[in-house]
Copies of this chain bind each other. A is one copy, B any other.
Amino acid sequence: MIFGDSKAPCAELVVIGDEVVSGLILDRNSQYLGEKIHELGIEVSRITTVGDSASVIEDCVKLALKRSDWVVMTGGLGATHDDITKSVLLKVFECGLKKDSKVASMLEEMFRFRGCAVPGMVRSQFEVPEKAEILYNEKGTAPGFKMRQGKTILFSLPGVPREMQYLFEKYVAPEMAAQKNKTFLHRLIKTTGISEADLWAKVGPLESLQEKAAIASLPSHLGVRIRISTLAESRPEGESRLDEVEGFLAQRLSRYIYGKDEEGLEEKVGALLKGKSLTLATAESCTGGLIGHRLTQVSGSSDYYKEGFVVYSNEAKVARLGVDPKLIEEFGAVSEPVAQAMAEGVCRVTGADIGVSVTGISGPSGGSDLKPVGLTFIAVHDRSGTCCKKFIFTHDRIRNKERSAQAALDLVRLMIQGEVEI
Protein backbone atom coordinates (compact mmCIF):
# COMPACT_ATOMS: atom_id res chain seq x y z
CA MET A 1 0.00 0.00 0.00
CA ILE A 2 1.62 3.20 -1.13
CA PHE A 3 -0.24 5.65 1.05
CA GLY A 4 -0.29 3.34 4.08
CA ASP A 5 -3.97 3.97 4.73
CA SER A 6 -6.46 1.23 3.94
CA LYS A 7 -9.42 3.60 4.18
CA ALA A 8 -8.08 5.98 1.54
CA PRO A 9 -10.15 5.94 -1.66
CA CYS A 10 -8.84 3.55 -4.28
CA ALA A 11 -9.15 3.22 -8.01
CA GLU A 12 -8.91 0.31 -10.40
CA LEU A 13 -8.07 0.35 -14.08
CA VAL A 14 -9.53 -2.05 -16.63
CA VAL A 15 -7.61 -2.03 -19.91
CA ILE A 16 -9.23 -3.72 -22.90
CA GLY A 17 -7.66 -4.93 -26.11
CA ASP A 18 -6.37 -8.07 -27.80
CA GLU A 19 -3.47 -5.97 -29.11
CA VAL A 20 -2.35 -5.31 -25.52
CA VAL A 21 -2.56 -8.83 -24.04
CA SER A 22 -0.84 -10.27 -27.08
CA GLY A 23 2.02 -7.78 -26.78
CA LEU A 24 1.35 -6.23 -30.18
CA ILE A 25 1.38 -2.76 -28.66
CA LEU A 26 2.90 -1.38 -25.48
CA ASP A 27 0.23 -0.10 -23.11
CA ARG A 28 1.24 3.39 -22.06
CA ASN A 29 -2.28 4.37 -21.00
CA SER A 30 -1.95 2.52 -17.69
CA GLN A 31 1.19 4.37 -16.78
CA TYR A 32 -0.42 7.70 -17.64
CA LEU A 33 -3.54 6.95 -15.60
CA GLY A 34 -1.59 5.35 -12.73
CA GLU A 35 0.56 8.44 -12.39
CA LYS A 36 -2.22 11.00 -12.77
CA ILE A 37 -4.57 9.27 -10.34
CA HIS A 38 -1.76 8.71 -7.86
CA GLU A 39 -0.97 12.42 -8.04
CA LEU A 40 -4.56 13.13 -7.05
CA GLY A 41 -3.91 11.24 -3.82
CA ILE A 42 -5.93 8.19 -4.87
CA GLU A 43 -4.24 4.80 -4.76
CA VAL A 44 -4.46 2.63 -7.87
CA SER A 45 -4.87 -0.79 -6.30
CA ARG A 46 -5.12 -2.92 -9.41
CA ILE A 47 -4.81 -2.78 -13.18
CA THR A 48 -6.53 -5.57 -15.08
CA THR A 49 -5.73 -6.00 -18.75
CA VAL A 50 -7.93 -8.28 -20.82
CA GLY A 51 -8.53 -9.13 -24.47
CA ASP A 52 -11.69 -8.40 -26.45
CA SER A 53 -13.78 -11.09 -24.78
CA ALA A 54 -17.21 -9.96 -23.51
CA SER A 55 -17.50 -12.47 -20.68
CA VAL A 56 -14.03 -11.75 -19.30
CA ILE A 57 -14.59 -7.99 -19.47
CA GLU A 58 -17.95 -8.35 -17.75
CA ASP A 59 -16.40 -10.41 -14.97
CA CYS A 60 -13.63 -7.84 -14.43
CA VAL A 61 -15.93 -4.84 -14.39
CA LYS A 62 -18.29 -6.46 -11.89
CA LEU A 63 -15.43 -7.30 -9.51
CA ALA A 64 -13.91 -3.86 -9.89
CA LEU A 65 -17.22 -2.15 -9.09
CA LYS A 66 -17.45 -4.17 -5.88
CA ARG A 67 -13.90 -3.51 -4.71
CA SER A 68 -13.10 0.06 -5.63
CA ASP A 69 -14.33 3.63 -5.30
CA TRP A 70 -13.34 4.48 -8.84
CA VAL A 71 -13.12 2.31 -11.95
CA VAL A 72 -11.47 3.68 -15.08
CA MET A 73 -11.76 1.58 -18.24
CA THR A 74 -9.88 2.20 -21.48
CA GLY A 75 -10.44 0.72 -24.92
CA GLY A 76 -13.13 -1.13 -26.82
CA LEU A 77 -15.27 1.94 -27.57
CA GLY A 78 -14.56 2.17 -31.29
CA ALA A 79 -17.13 1.34 -33.94
CA THR A 80 -15.71 -1.93 -35.29
CA HIS A 81 -16.83 -5.47 -34.56
CA ASP A 82 -14.22 -6.07 -31.87
CA ASP A 83 -15.18 -3.02 -29.83
CA ILE A 84 -17.49 -4.51 -27.26
CA THR A 85 -17.15 -2.34 -24.16
CA LYS A 86 -20.48 -0.61 -24.69
CA SER A 87 -22.44 -3.85 -24.89
CA VAL A 88 -20.72 -5.11 -21.73
CA LEU A 89 -21.73 -1.92 -19.91
CA LEU A 90 -25.36 -2.42 -20.98
CA LYS A 91 -25.25 -5.87 -19.43
CA VAL A 92 -23.49 -4.89 -16.20
CA PHE A 93 -25.69 -1.86 -15.57
CA GLU A 94 -28.82 -3.58 -16.89
CA CYS A 95 -29.99 -0.89 -19.27
CA GLY A 96 -30.67 -0.26 -22.94
CA LEU A 97 -29.46 2.25 -25.50
CA LYS A 98 -30.74 5.74 -26.22
CA LYS A 99 -29.78 8.16 -28.94
CA ASP A 100 -27.72 11.13 -27.76
CA SER A 101 -28.46 14.07 -30.01
CA LYS A 102 -25.34 16.03 -28.99
CA VAL A 103 -23.06 13.11 -29.94
CA ALA A 104 -24.94 12.86 -33.24
CA SER A 105 -24.61 16.56 -34.05
CA MET A 106 -20.91 16.60 -33.06
CA LEU A 107 -20.16 13.69 -35.38
CA GLU A 108 -22.24 15.15 -38.21
CA GLU A 109 -20.33 18.41 -37.86
CA MET A 110 -16.98 16.58 -37.77
CA PHE A 111 -17.69 14.65 -40.97
CA ARG A 112 -19.22 17.66 -42.71
CA PHE A 113 -15.87 19.32 -42.11
CA ARG A 114 -14.19 16.33 -43.77
CA GLY A 115 -16.61 16.67 -46.66
CA CYS A 116 -18.63 13.48 -46.22
CA ALA A 117 -21.57 11.99 -44.35
CA VAL A 118 -21.07 10.07 -41.10
CA PRO A 119 -20.15 6.53 -42.20
CA GLY A 120 -22.66 3.82 -41.31
CA MET A 121 -20.38 2.15 -38.80
CA VAL A 122 -19.62 5.40 -36.96
CA ARG A 123 -23.36 6.16 -36.69
CA SER A 124 -23.54 3.45 -34.03
CA GLN A 125 -21.77 5.94 -31.75
CA PHE A 126 -24.99 8.02 -31.62
CA GLU A 127 -26.41 5.30 -29.37
CA VAL A 128 -25.29 5.43 -25.74
CA PRO A 129 -26.21 3.50 -22.57
CA GLU A 130 -29.42 4.93 -21.02
CA LYS A 131 -27.86 5.13 -17.57
CA ALA A 132 -24.65 6.85 -18.67
CA GLU A 133 -23.59 10.46 -18.48
CA ILE A 134 -21.77 11.22 -21.72
CA LEU A 135 -18.15 12.34 -21.90
CA TYR A 136 -18.17 14.35 -25.12
CA ASN A 137 -15.06 13.70 -27.16
CA GLU A 138 -13.93 16.58 -29.36
CA LYS A 139 -10.77 14.64 -30.29
CA GLY A 140 -12.29 11.55 -31.88
CA THR A 141 -15.44 9.68 -32.83
CA ALA A 142 -16.04 7.58 -29.68
CA PRO A 143 -17.72 9.26 -26.70
CA GLY A 144 -16.81 8.13 -23.20
CA PHE A 145 -19.25 7.23 -20.44
CA LYS A 146 -19.65 7.88 -16.74
CA MET A 147 -21.82 5.43 -14.82
CA ARG A 148 -22.54 4.95 -11.14
CA GLN A 149 -23.20 1.86 -9.03
CA GLY A 150 -23.70 2.49 -5.32
CA LYS A 151 -20.83 4.70 -4.21
CA THR A 152 -18.58 3.59 -7.05
CA ILE A 153 -18.11 5.71 -10.14
CA LEU A 154 -17.03 4.11 -13.41
CA PHE A 155 -15.52 5.98 -16.34
CA SER A 156 -15.20 4.27 -19.71
CA LEU A 157 -12.69 6.02 -21.99
CA PRO A 158 -11.49 5.32 -25.56
CA GLY A 159 -8.13 3.54 -25.94
CA VAL A 160 -6.53 6.07 -28.31
CA PRO A 161 -4.04 7.80 -25.97
CA ARG A 162 -4.76 11.32 -27.16
CA GLU A 163 -8.52 10.91 -26.75
CA MET A 164 -8.17 9.04 -23.46
CA GLN A 165 -5.96 11.79 -21.99
CA TYR A 166 -8.27 14.50 -23.24
CA LEU A 167 -11.35 12.98 -21.62
CA PHE A 168 -9.43 12.14 -18.44
CA GLU A 169 -8.32 15.75 -18.02
CA LYS A 170 -11.73 17.13 -18.97
CA TYR A 171 -14.02 14.89 -16.93
CA VAL A 172 -12.25 12.37 -14.68
CA ALA A 173 -9.49 14.38 -12.99
CA PRO A 174 -11.74 17.26 -11.88
CA GLU A 175 -14.22 14.84 -10.34
CA MET A 176 -11.52 12.86 -8.52
CA ALA A 177 -9.86 16.08 -7.35
CA ALA A 178 -13.13 17.33 -5.89
CA GLN A 179 -13.37 14.26 -3.66
CA LYS A 180 -9.78 13.98 -2.49
CA ASN A 181 -8.87 15.29 0.93
CA LYS A 182 -5.09 15.33 0.70
CA THR A 183 -2.67 16.87 -1.77
CA PHE A 184 -0.08 14.76 -3.51
CA LEU A 185 2.99 16.63 -4.66
CA HIS A 186 6.10 15.42 -6.39
CA ARG A 187 9.23 16.62 -8.10
CA LEU A 188 11.76 15.01 -10.35
CA ILE A 189 15.41 15.96 -9.82
CA LYS A 190 17.49 15.04 -12.87
CA THR A 191 21.17 14.17 -12.67
CA THR A 192 23.76 12.92 -15.11
CA GLY A 193 27.47 12.09 -15.02
CA ILE A 194 27.36 10.11 -11.76
CA SER A 195 26.50 6.46 -11.13
CA GLU A 196 23.57 5.52 -8.91
CA ALA A 197 25.87 4.05 -6.23
CA ASP A 198 28.17 7.11 -6.16
CA LEU A 199 25.18 9.41 -6.07
CA TRP A 200 23.66 7.82 -2.96
CA ALA A 201 27.07 7.59 -1.30
CA LYS A 202 27.44 11.35 -1.81
CA VAL A 203 23.96 11.99 -0.43
CA GLY A 204 24.60 9.94 2.72
CA PRO A 205 21.99 8.69 5.21
CA LEU A 206 18.39 9.31 4.12
CA GLU A 207 16.41 8.47 7.26
CA SER A 208 15.66 12.02 8.36
CA LEU A 209 14.73 13.04 4.82
CA GLN A 210 12.40 10.11 4.37
CA GLU A 211 10.21 11.44 7.16
CA LYS A 212 9.56 14.46 4.94
CA ALA A 213 9.02 12.75 1.60
CA ALA A 214 9.28 9.47 -0.26
CA ILE A 215 12.49 9.29 -2.28
CA ALA A 216 12.78 7.03 -5.31
CA SER A 217 15.78 6.58 -7.56
CA LEU A 218 15.25 5.96 -11.28
CA PRO A 219 18.52 5.07 -12.98
CA SER A 220 19.03 4.83 -16.73
CA HIS A 221 22.09 4.86 -18.97
CA LEU A 222 21.65 8.63 -19.39
CA GLY A 223 21.63 9.45 -15.69
CA VAL A 224 19.77 9.00 -12.43
CA ARG A 225 16.48 10.76 -11.83
CA ILE A 226 15.34 11.19 -8.24
CA ARG A 227 11.64 11.44 -7.54
CA ILE A 228 10.59 13.04 -4.27
CA SER A 229 6.92 12.91 -3.38
CA THR A 230 4.67 13.57 -0.43
CA LEU A 231 1.02 13.38 0.51
CA ALA A 232 0.24 16.48 2.56
CA GLU A 233 -2.74 18.10 4.27
CA SER A 234 -2.19 21.23 2.19
CA ARG A 235 -0.18 22.38 -0.77
CA PRO A 236 2.04 24.83 1.20
CA GLU A 237 2.86 22.13 3.73
CA GLY A 238 3.78 19.72 0.94
CA GLU A 239 5.80 22.28 -0.98
CA SER A 240 7.83 23.15 2.08
CA ARG A 241 8.63 19.47 2.73
CA LEU A 242 9.74 19.02 -0.88
CA ASP A 243 11.77 22.25 -0.75
CA GLU A 244 13.64 20.91 2.25
CA VAL A 245 14.47 17.57 0.62
CA GLU A 246 15.36 19.19 -2.68
CA GLY A 247 17.63 21.70 -0.94
CA PHE A 248 19.48 18.91 0.83
CA LEU A 249 19.96 16.94 -2.41
CA ALA A 250 21.02 20.07 -4.33
CA GLN A 251 23.68 20.81 -1.73
CA ARG A 252 25.13 17.31 -1.91
CA LEU A 253 24.84 16.79 -5.65
CA SER A 254 25.14 20.34 -7.00
CA ARG A 255 27.06 19.98 -10.27
CA TYR A 256 25.39 16.71 -11.24
CA ILE A 257 21.88 18.15 -11.23
CA TYR A 258 20.94 19.58 -14.61
CA GLY A 259 17.21 20.00 -14.41
CA LYS A 260 13.87 19.48 -12.72
CA ASP A 261 10.58 17.88 -13.77
CA GLU A 262 9.99 18.25 -17.51
CA GLU A 263 13.24 20.09 -18.26
CA GLY A 264 15.62 18.08 -20.43
CA LEU A 265 19.35 18.60 -20.78
CA GLU A 266 18.83 20.19 -24.22
CA GLU A 267 16.39 22.71 -22.73
CA LYS A 268 18.82 23.51 -19.93
CA VAL A 269 21.71 24.05 -22.36
CA GLY A 270 19.43 26.17 -24.57
CA ALA A 271 18.35 28.34 -21.63
CA LEU A 272 21.96 28.86 -20.53
CA LEU A 273 23.06 29.82 -24.06
CA LYS A 274 20.11 32.17 -24.49
CA GLY A 275 20.67 33.73 -21.07
CA LYS A 276 24.25 34.61 -21.97
CA SER A 277 23.56 35.38 -25.66
CA LEU A 278 26.00 32.69 -26.77
CA THR A 279 25.91 30.55 -29.89
CA LEU A 280 26.85 26.89 -30.24
CA ALA A 281 28.14 24.76 -33.11
CA THR A 282 28.55 20.97 -33.18
CA ALA A 283 31.13 18.68 -34.76
CA GLU A 284 29.93 15.11 -34.49
CA SER A 285 31.61 11.93 -35.55
CA CYS A 286 30.21 8.82 -33.84
CA THR A 287 26.99 10.50 -32.65
CA GLY A 288 26.12 11.11 -36.32
CA GLY A 289 23.90 14.15 -35.77
CA LEU A 290 22.21 13.16 -32.50
CA ILE A 291 23.48 16.22 -30.62
CA GLY A 292 22.14 18.55 -33.31
CA HIS A 293 18.88 16.59 -33.34
CA ARG A 294 18.49 16.97 -29.56
CA LEU A 295 19.33 20.67 -29.59
CA THR A 296 16.74 21.30 -32.31
CA GLN A 297 13.99 19.47 -30.44
CA VAL A 298 13.67 22.72 -28.48
CA SER A 299 11.51 25.42 -30.02
CA GLY A 300 13.55 28.58 -30.58
CA SER A 301 16.85 26.71 -30.84
CA SER A 302 17.68 28.57 -34.06
CA ASP A 303 18.46 31.55 -31.80
CA TYR A 304 21.56 29.86 -30.38
CA TYR A 305 22.30 26.70 -32.41
CA LYS A 306 24.39 28.02 -35.26
CA GLU A 307 25.39 25.03 -37.29
CA GLY A 308 26.48 21.42 -37.19
CA PHE A 309 28.80 19.05 -39.01
CA VAL A 310 28.56 15.30 -39.18
CA VAL A 311 32.17 14.44 -39.97
CA TYR A 312 32.24 10.68 -40.09
CA SER A 313 35.32 10.37 -42.29
CA ASN A 314 38.87 11.63 -41.69
CA GLU A 315 38.67 13.64 -44.92
CA ALA A 316 35.60 15.49 -43.66
CA LYS A 317 37.31 16.30 -40.36
CA VAL A 318 40.17 17.85 -42.31
CA ALA A 319 38.15 19.56 -45.07
CA ARG A 320 35.30 20.94 -42.94
CA LEU A 321 36.95 21.69 -39.62
CA GLY A 322 40.58 22.21 -40.58
CA VAL A 323 41.82 19.38 -38.39
CA ASP A 324 45.55 18.88 -39.08
CA PRO A 325 45.92 15.53 -40.94
CA LYS A 326 49.14 14.94 -39.00
CA LEU A 327 47.17 14.79 -35.74
CA ILE A 328 44.95 12.07 -37.18
CA GLU A 329 47.96 10.21 -38.47
CA GLU A 330 49.85 10.42 -35.19
CA PHE A 331 47.06 9.93 -32.63
CA GLY A 332 44.22 8.42 -34.66
CA ALA A 333 40.77 9.93 -35.33
CA VAL A 334 39.55 8.81 -31.91
CA SER A 335 41.94 10.73 -29.68
CA GLU A 336 42.10 13.75 -27.41
CA PRO A 337 44.10 15.96 -29.82
CA VAL A 338 41.62 15.31 -32.64
CA ALA A 339 38.59 15.97 -30.42
CA GLN A 340 40.17 19.25 -29.33
CA ALA A 341 41.02 20.24 -32.89
CA MET A 342 37.43 19.48 -33.95
CA ALA A 343 35.92 21.68 -31.19
CA GLU A 344 38.34 24.49 -31.95
CA GLY A 345 37.86 24.10 -35.70
CA VAL A 346 34.08 24.25 -35.59
CA CYS A 347 34.27 27.55 -33.70
CA ARG A 348 36.78 28.96 -36.15
CA VAL A 349 34.82 27.91 -39.23
CA THR A 350 31.35 28.95 -38.03
CA GLY A 351 32.16 31.85 -35.74
CA ALA A 352 30.16 30.26 -32.93
CA ASP A 353 31.03 31.17 -29.33
CA ILE A 354 31.13 27.56 -28.19
CA GLY A 355 32.04 24.43 -30.13
CA VAL A 356 31.42 20.87 -29.00
CA SER A 357 32.90 17.78 -30.62
CA VAL A 358 32.58 14.03 -30.23
CA THR A 359 34.78 11.33 -31.68
CA GLY A 360 34.45 7.74 -30.58
CA ILE A 361 33.98 4.10 -31.44
CA SER A 362 30.29 3.25 -31.04
CA GLY A 363 30.72 -0.39 -31.98
CA PRO A 364 30.00 -3.17 -32.34
CA SER A 365 33.00 -3.28 -34.71
CA GLY A 366 36.01 -0.95 -35.05
CA GLY A 367 37.54 -1.55 -31.63
CA SER A 368 41.07 -2.75 -30.81
CA ASP A 369 43.03 -3.62 -27.66
CA LEU A 370 44.40 -0.13 -27.49
CA LYS A 371 41.16 1.59 -28.46
CA PRO A 372 38.20 -0.52 -27.33
CA VAL A 373 34.60 -0.16 -28.49
CA GLY A 374 33.02 2.61 -26.43
CA LEU A 375 36.16 4.77 -26.25
CA THR A 376 34.95 8.33 -26.78
CA PHE A 377 36.54 11.78 -26.54
CA ILE A 378 34.36 14.83 -26.04
CA ALA A 379 35.73 18.36 -26.23
CA VAL A 380 34.20 21.78 -25.65
CA HIS A 381 35.91 24.98 -26.74
CA ASP A 382 35.17 28.60 -25.91
CA ARG A 383 37.17 31.82 -25.60
CA SER A 384 38.64 30.65 -22.31
CA GLY A 385 40.12 27.49 -23.80
CA THR A 386 39.33 23.86 -24.56
CA CYS A 387 38.25 21.11 -22.19
CA CYS A 388 38.41 17.46 -23.27
CA LYS A 389 37.11 14.37 -21.46
CA LYS A 390 37.68 10.71 -22.16
CA PHE A 391 34.96 8.08 -21.65
CA ILE A 392 34.72 4.36 -22.14
CA PHE A 393 31.06 3.47 -22.64
CA THR A 394 30.18 -0.19 -22.29
CA HIS A 395 26.79 -0.49 -23.94
CA ASP A 396 25.66 -1.35 -27.43
CA ARG A 397 26.08 0.99 -30.41
CA ILE A 398 22.78 2.79 -29.96
CA ARG A 399 23.17 3.41 -26.25
CA ASN A 400 26.82 4.39 -26.65
CA LYS A 401 25.65 7.08 -29.08
CA GLU A 402 23.00 8.22 -26.63
CA ARG A 403 25.47 8.36 -23.73
CA SER A 404 27.98 10.28 -25.86
CA ALA A 405 25.40 12.89 -26.83
CA GLN A 406 24.27 13.21 -23.22
CA ALA A 407 27.84 13.61 -21.94
CA ALA A 408 28.58 16.18 -24.67
CA LEU A 409 25.54 18.31 -23.82
CA ASP A 410 26.43 18.04 -20.14
CA LEU A 411 29.98 19.20 -20.79
CA VAL A 412 28.58 22.22 -22.64
CA ARG A 413 26.37 22.94 -19.60
CA LEU A 414 29.30 22.69 -17.17
CA MET A 415 31.50 24.84 -19.44
CA ILE A 416 28.91 27.64 -19.54
CA GLN A 417 28.42 27.34 -15.78
CA GLY A 418 32.19 27.66 -15.31
CA GLU A 419 32.40 24.27 -13.63
CA VAL A 420 35.12 22.62 -15.72
CA GLU A 421 38.84 22.92 -15.53
CA ILE A 422 40.49 23.94 -18.76
Contacts and interface: CB of A to CB of B under 8 A. Distances in A.
Contacts of A51: 1-2, 43-45
Contacts of A48: 46-49
A288 interface: yes
A91 to B, nearest CB: 18
A278 interface: no
Interface string A214-233: 00101000000001000000
A23 B40 CA distance: 13
Interface in A373-421: 397-398, 401
A33 B24 contact: no
User: Which 6 pairs between the two chains have the least Cβ-Cβ distance?
Assistant: A288-B296, A23-B35, A289-B292, A289-B289, A308-B310, A23-B34
A55 B33 CA distance: 23
Interface stretch (A135-143, A200-208, A311-319): A311-319
A31 interface: yes
Given A1-B51, A216-B19, A313 B302 contact: yes
Contacts of A18: 2
Interface string A18-30: 1111111111101
A21 B362 CA distance: 36
Nearest to A312: B302
A306 B313 contact: yes
Given A25-B218, A293-B287, A46 B50 contact: yes
A115 to B, nearest CB: 13
Contacts of A331: none
Interface in A1-17: 1-2
B24 A216 contact: yes
Contacts of A22: 2, 34-35, 38, 43-44
B24 A27 contact: no
A25 B28 CA distance: 10
Given A30-B49, A289-B284, A24 B227 contact: yes
Contacts of A47: 20-21, 47-50
Contacts of A101: none
Contacts of A289: 282, 284, 288-293, 296, 308, 310
23 contacts: A21-B46, A23-B38, A25-B31, A27-B31, A45-B51, A46-B49, A46-B56, A46-B60, A47-B47, A47-B49, A47-B50, A48-B49, A284-B289, A288-B301, A289-B289, A289-B296, A290-B293, A292-B310, A297-B398, A306-B316, A308-B308, A308-B310, A316-B350
Nearest to A297: B398
A24 to B, nearest CB: 6
A309 interface: yes
